[in-house]
Amino acid sequence: MYISVMFVGLFGMFMFAGSADPVTYLDRRCGDDLSNLWLDVVLVVDNSRAVTRMDRVRKNILNTFHNGTNIGTSEDNPRTTRVSLVTYNKYSEIIADLNQFESFDDFNKSISMNLANSSTFDESYLIKGLESATVVLEKSSLAGERLNYKKVIVIYASLGDDILLAIPLADRLKADGITIIAVAETSGTDNEKLDFWLDLISSGSMSFSIQNEKLVQEIQDSFLQTNCFCPNGWVQLRTSYYDMHSYRYGICLSLSPLTAIWRAARLSCRNQWRNGYLVNEYEANKHNYVLESLRNSSLFRLPYTYHIGLTYLTGSWYWDQPEGNSLRKVDNQQWKNWNPGYPILSSTQTIGVNVQNVTDESETGWQNENAMGEAHYYVCEVASCDTDNYFNCFCPDGWTQYRSSYSYVDSSRFGVCTAATVIEANWRAAQFSCRSQYSNAYLINEYDLNKHKYILGYPKSDSTLTGVTNFENQGEESSGWQNVNVNKEYQFYLCEVAACDTENFCEPVDN
């Protein structure tokens, strides 16, 4: 056997809060601290003569960002919001890109000056405003700026000319993950028509009227929902599984199609993401959401049986929680979902599983089993990334982050990402493959014992043996360096690259 490969089970770092309300048995809601909002926002404002009340638009914009939101960028605080301003009429103009405003005062002065009055143009083409917003966002993306920040376009629009021409571009922007908030500047008489078109242009239910007394709060709530999302590969809990635009909770779920016993499943959840744990079910909506997620995946087969975070300790049932947090007693919640005849009082059947109901095959219910018994699917849970949890150091998709301890998921992270391959190659081909996978990537380095774990052996003196490979030592669970011919020996290999963080923006290799 050639190379010993260790996968580090972490793809990023959050600063996490618990995933449940500390007092009631309610699932965690998205963070709502506007002073910690971290977004990139492009304001697209119709300033044609059709907008007769520019003062309402100006006032709404300033009030929306006046609740402590940190505008600009800061080396000491990554939780900031950049704002760009685009105006449009017959033409469009980028008044400020995402890097111009470094404080609310800068922003206030520009908004007050540039949105003081309507322009002299009667024509109003929203498509031109959206095209300029696209330029702003693409310029930022090409520069590698804040790639892990969500993007938002806020439109203030009159009915204008040929507003339907903006729909295809809006659809493409939304497909790219950009949130569009639309505000109808209803000075004219065709308010219903304008509302209809903006409903199509906006994301979900994020279309509002300038006359709405709660407009500031509506836009801020839309910002907070946008700033609430999950790591790649995790599913965000919503109030409705089938309504993609229903309210999102500050909860992320990972459904594992691999089977494991309960204790192994619990360990897997902790290793998948910092502060991960087996899923809790405080109420029926969440239980049904998880079940629908399994039903709609081809990876899970009937009958549905999967581990959840129920565990029996000192005479009571508790829910699993993030490591270091107090467990939550099941008896204290109103909703329970035990299958008939359960739980069975037993000293060995001390963990909970969701099992397809015998009397109603469309449902699952809780049953207790032996913790070291059968292997089942399992579902993990973790708090979302939002204003309370900043995702500040992460690895590109498919790469894992190196940390000081493999077995301790909360150990310190290094700014290094690794990728292992199961395709064999000689040393030169492996080196080329690493450099092709990502910008500035290279074959893995081993500077200390902790990173290597099993160093043993030394290079032999041979002018043709100029590549180095880790070989498993015969009969031992360790490996050491041996030098090989760079063009002949075919082995597995590991690549390495710097992590994406505040000092290093990730730029994929152009293929």
State residue 11's pLDDT score.
Answer: 27
Candidate from 184-198, 343-357, 373-387 with smallest mean pLDDT: 184-198
Which residue ranges form the domains of the chain, and what is each CATH number? 17-22+231-383 (3.10.100.10), 34-226 (3.40.50.410), 393-498 (3.10.100.10)
Q: Which residues pair with 381 in a beta bridge?
A: 253, 277
How far apart are alpha carbons 193 and 213 in whole angstroms?
21
State residue 475's pLDDT score.
Answer: 54
Q: Which residues pair with 238 in a beta bridge?
A: 248
How far apart are alpha carbons 412 and 130 in whole angstroms?
43
Highest mean pLDDT among 11-25, 382-396, 477-491: 382-396
How many residues make up the chain in this entry?
511
Tell me which of 64 and 389 has the higher pLDDT.
64
- Write the CA distances from 321 to 269, 310, 316, 324, 382, integer angstroms: 11, 10, 15, 8, 9
Which one, of 321, 334, 373, 330, lies nearest residue 350 by Cα? 373
**Cis geometry, peptide bond prior to residue 22 (ω within 30 degrees of 0):** no
State residue 207's pLDDT score.
Answer: 96
With a cut of 60, say whether residue 8 has pLDDT above it. Answer: no
Q: 206-213: long-range contacts at Cβ-Cβ below 8 A with a sequence spacing of 24 or more?
A: 206/179, 206/180, 206/181, 206/182, 207/181, 207/182, 207/183, 208/181, 208/182, 208/183, 208/184, 209/183, 209/184, 210/53, 210/56, 210/57, 210/60, 210/156, 210/183, 210/184, 210/185, 210/186, 211/186
pLDDT above 90 covers what percent of the chain? 54
Residue 412 CA to its chain's centroid (Å):
21
With a cut of 60, say whether residue 416 has pLDDT above it. Answer: yes
Q: Provide the pLDDT confidence category of residue 504 given band limits of 50, 70 and 90.
A: low
Q: Are 199 and 246 in contact (CB under 8 A)?
A: no
With a cut of 80, say whether residue 52 has pLDDT above it. Answer: yes
With a cut of 70, say whether residue 318 has pLDDT above it. Answer: yes
CB atoms within 10 A of CB 467: 21
State residue 179's pLDDT score.
Answer: 97
- Exposed / middle / buried, residue 252 (Cβ in 10 Å: 0-12, 13-18, 19+): buried
Helix (H, G, I), strand (E, B) or coil at 230: coil
State residue 7's pLDDT score.
Answer: 28
Q: At what angle do helices 191-201 and 167-175 cross, to 10 degrees?
A: 30
Q: Provide the pLDDT confidence category of residue 420 given band limits of 50, 70 and 90.
A: confident
With a cut of 60, say whether residue 21 has pLDDT above it. Answer: no
For residue 442, the 8-state DSSP code is E
Q: Provide the pLDDT confidence category of residue 78 given band limits of 50, 70 and 90.
A: confident
With a cut of 60, say whether residue 88 has pLDDT above it. Answer: yes
How far apart are alpha carbons 318 and 320 in whole angstroms?
7
Q: Provide the pLDDT confidence category of residue 191 given band limits of 50, 70 and 90.
A: confident
Q: Are 265 and 305 in contact (CB under 8 A)?
A: no
Which token pair is 324?
């270091």
For the chain, state the CA radius of gyration: 27
How far apart are alpha carbons 505 and 148 in whole angstroms?
9
Q: What are phi and psi of 3, to 5 degrees?
A: -110, 140
Alpha carbon distance, N-terminus to C-terminus of the chain: 33
State residue 19's pLDDT score.
Answer: 52
Stretch 11-35: mean pLDDT, rounded? Answer: 63
Q: Are 307 and 377 in contact (CB under 8 A)?
A: yes
Q: Are 164 and 126 in contact (CB under 8 A)?
A: no
Q: What is the mean pLDDT of the chain?
A: 82
212's CB contacts (< 8 A; 6+ apart) are 218
Stretch 46-62: mean pLDDT, rounded? Answer: 94
How far apart are alpha carbons 317 and 234 in whole angstroms?
27
459's CB contacts (< 8 A; 6+ apart) are 465, 468, 481, 482, 483
Q: Provide the pLDDT confidence category of residue 487 given band limits of 50, 70 and 90.
A: low
State residue 483's pLDDT score.
Answer: 67
State residue 403's pLDDT score.
Answer: 66
Q: Are 274 and 409 in contact (CB under 8 A)?
A: yes
With a cut of 50, say whether residue 365 has pLDDT above it. Answer: yes
Tell me which of 284 and 445 has the higher pLDDT.
284
Candidate from 230-234, 310-314, 388-392, 495-499 with smallest mean pLDDT: 388-392
State residue 273's pLDDT score.
Answer: 80
Helix (H, G, I), strand (E, B) or coil at 77: coil
Q: Are 240 and 395 in contact (CB under 8 A)?
A: no
Residue 290 CA to its chain's centroid (Å):
18
Q: Provide the pLDDT confidence category of residue 192 given band limits of 50, 70 and 90.
A: confident
How far apart are alpha carbons 186 and 195 in whole angstroms?
9
Candidate from 77-91, 318-332, 349-363, 478-492 with smallest mean pLDDT: 478-492
How far apart are alpha carbons 164 and 185 in whole angstroms?
16
With a cut of 60, say whether residue 85 has pLDDT above it. Answer: yes
pLDDT above 70 covers what percent of the chain? 78
Tell me which of 16 and 355 has the higher pLDDT.
355
State residue 361's pLDDT score.
Answer: 62
Candidate from 49-58, 204-213, 250-259, 423-432 with smallest mean pLDDT: 423-432
The four Cα atoms 119, 120, 125, 130 give a dihedral, to 10 degrees, of -20
State residue 474's pLDDT score.
Answer: 53
Stretch 410-415: mean pLDDT, rounded? Answer: 55
State residue 138's pLDDT score.
Answer: 95
- Exposed / middle / buried, residue 31 (Cβ in 10 Å: 0-12, 13-18, 19+): buried
Stretch 315-336: mean pLDDT, rounded? Answer: 92
pLDDT tens-digit readout, 442-477: 888 877 777 775 233 323 333 343 454 555 555 555
